[in-house]
Structure 1
């Protein structure tokens, strides 16, 4: 017959079992608290991915058996959250972050000392946290992509609506404007007109010409003017257009610097559209320097592309304005100084020729517009020959 267990030994075994259960329970509570904290912050739509990852880094050590001696780090793409360098003396765990089957980073947890064992439960917890983080990243990036696509669709619909409106307005105004301009020019030829009448007619003609130019911009923006591609010399086009904006430079005390590549090859493009593009860019630069400055115009070849650079030393563009600078009818000028179509038309002409335009600006120092155009429009079916 087995001897009965002494009370003191039984009591000790009971206490040990109780302590073991309590430790297990505490560890489980910490694990659940960690997962709850992650779920709570990830469920907040206002929380950024950076905020979520920082919260994960903070919550992970709290779930380990020695929280005050544990450190966590998340590496995602080229970003690091948490402890930059985990303690090398202690043991550490690391699990890869996988998003849509692709490894994007790692979550690591380590101790300062090697005498602290890593529990099996901690390994399971880290795997679960890594899985949750991967799902969070996937959901956030999917939502961001959907927002971008929605914004692009909304922008395209808006442009299409504006284009139809612009085309309709342009057609409706063209005929009466042509009559105003024609009769004004006819009246100006009347002999013995008073001096004041001649001045008034000149003002009417100038206003009508300005309105006609605006209508042409509307037509170009609405793509109502079919392109007529020819072989042309960009340097010569710039010099021929100089008469349009040279007087304004002189009046505003603006110095012009040219750096035109003498070996620039011809390109195949619409002559009228390119003249308008060059003029709009330069006029915008001039308007940015009402108190004078320096206008730099340069051309160069970049592989199978030509590069046009227009720089000014004017007021510059604020960073929050730059993303909208090519939007139609967007302008920072007074109502009598611009329609907001200039750069939008430039953007349309450049992209229509298969090129790109990029603006860099520093408020108070100036703006640089860089246009890159292919030697031949992509839709052009004829072979390009560089020989002149």
Structure 2
């Protein structure tokens, strides 16, 4: 039996704990949630009647906190942490066994634990709301930047198209006139090659700005894939890289834009070639499923750095040296896949390299 003085002492400890927990939560910094939860666990530890032997565990989906252990096995009081009425964690307060049993806990201690879990759940709810608001704000800012960028890009692309067409046309005419001058022909070939490259960049800019019309039809995509790889055979051989094509069927029907599909394959395979070492292999696997077509392109290159994984599909982002990449390739690929209502994702290859997986739905 507890004396009146002991009962009063326990109530004071419990009220002090609840006050401290409430103060911690009211003044919490959402960027330091783990520190707040550690402090709450410590408050609980000293609130129990046998505080020198009390052990506390606090767990959420992302955080696990344990106070200093006071034994090898424990008997626990526990209460769930609910976030938006869904269990998202638990707090356990225990005594070492066999010295203590459940009968050694006070009814008021369970009530205190339930109240603390309610407060922690409210804290996690507010943090989740704040995180969602921040995410929405970033999405709105990104959409606005892309809208402005799209308008600027469309204007630049239209301005560049005419002079590039003139340069290419006059360079080809001039080449015919000086075909007996090998040095002049060589220089003009460089002009023509670089102009064609510049036009391709402009095409990517125009597609990014949604200025390129689509022409979709239901086709067998196997020849398209084979032709795309064949066109890159010289580049593959030059870099001493092999490309293996694995298809589940010789006839895979898909409603798509042939040029855009070729563009997707070109961008992904050219990227794989760039980052792959000599004597390595690029694999292209195409699987025809009931409701979709899955394409997997894997390489044995250097892989995507961890800190860059979330940026690879952003416009103008590139890990290539200055002058070697426009940063539009994967952004264009992402745009094409999205316009086909599909999905594209990437993952590390084992033991090294990157795997890009494309899922294109069979839309009639």
TM-score, normalised by the number of residues in structure 2: 0.89
Matched, 1:246 2:230: no
Query: Match of 1:131?
Result: 118
| 8 Å CA contact retained: 2:55, 2:69 | no
Larger-Rg structure: 1
Structure 1 pair 160–78 and aligned structure 2 pair: CA distance change class (3 A): closer
| CA displacement 1:159-214 (0-9 Å, x = unmatched) | 21221111111001001111001101111111554111100100000000000000
| 8 Å CA contact retained: 1:92, 1:108 | yes
Gaps of 5+ in 1: 1-18, 377-383
Matched, 1:351 2:335: no
Counterpart pick for 1:296 among 283, 292, 295: 283
| CA displacement 1:304-338 (0-9 Å, x = unmatched) | 11111111111211111111000000001012211
Query: Match of 2:46?
Result: 62
Distance 1:87 1:231 in 2: 69
Structure 1 pair 116–191 and aligned structure 2 pair: CA distance change class (3 A): closer
Query: Match of 1:197?
Result: 184
Q: Matched residue pairs, number?
A: 360
Secondary structure at the residue paired with 2:297? strand
Structure 1 outlier segments of 4+, above 6 Å: 83-91
Distance 1:325 1:88 in 2: 48
Distance 1:294 1:148 in 2: 39
| 8 Å CA contact retained: 2:217, 2:257 | yes
Matched, 1:215 2:181: no
- Select between 217-226 and 157-166 the one with higher mean Cα deviation: 157-166
Secondary structure at the residue paired with 1:283? helix
Query: Match of 2:296?
Result: 309
Matched, 1:98 2:82: yes
Distance 2:305 2:23 in 1: 39
Query: Match of 1:329?
Result: 316
Distance 1:32 1:147 in 2: 34
**RMSD after superposition:** 3.0
TM-score, normalised by the number of residues in structure 1: 0.84
User: Once the 2 structures are TM-superposed, how far is the Cα of residue 363 of structure 1 from its aligned partner?
Assistant: 9.5
| 8 Å CA contact retained: 1:317, 1:363 | no
Distance 1:23 1:121 in 2: 10
Structure 1 pair 126–152 and aligned structure 2 pair: CA distance change class (3 A): same
| CA displacement 1:247-291 (0-9 Å, x = unmatched) | 111111111211122244210011111111111111111111253
Distance 1:319 1:68 in 2: 44
User: Once the 2 structures are TM-superposed, how far is the Cα of residue 90 of structure 1 from its aligned partner?
Assistant: 7.4
Query: Match of 2:37?
Result: 53
Gaps of 5+ in 2: none
Equivalent residue runs for 1:1-12 within 5 Å: none
| CA displacement 1:332-386 (0-9 Å, x = unmatched) | 101221100000000000111011111112598211111111122xxxxxxx3xx
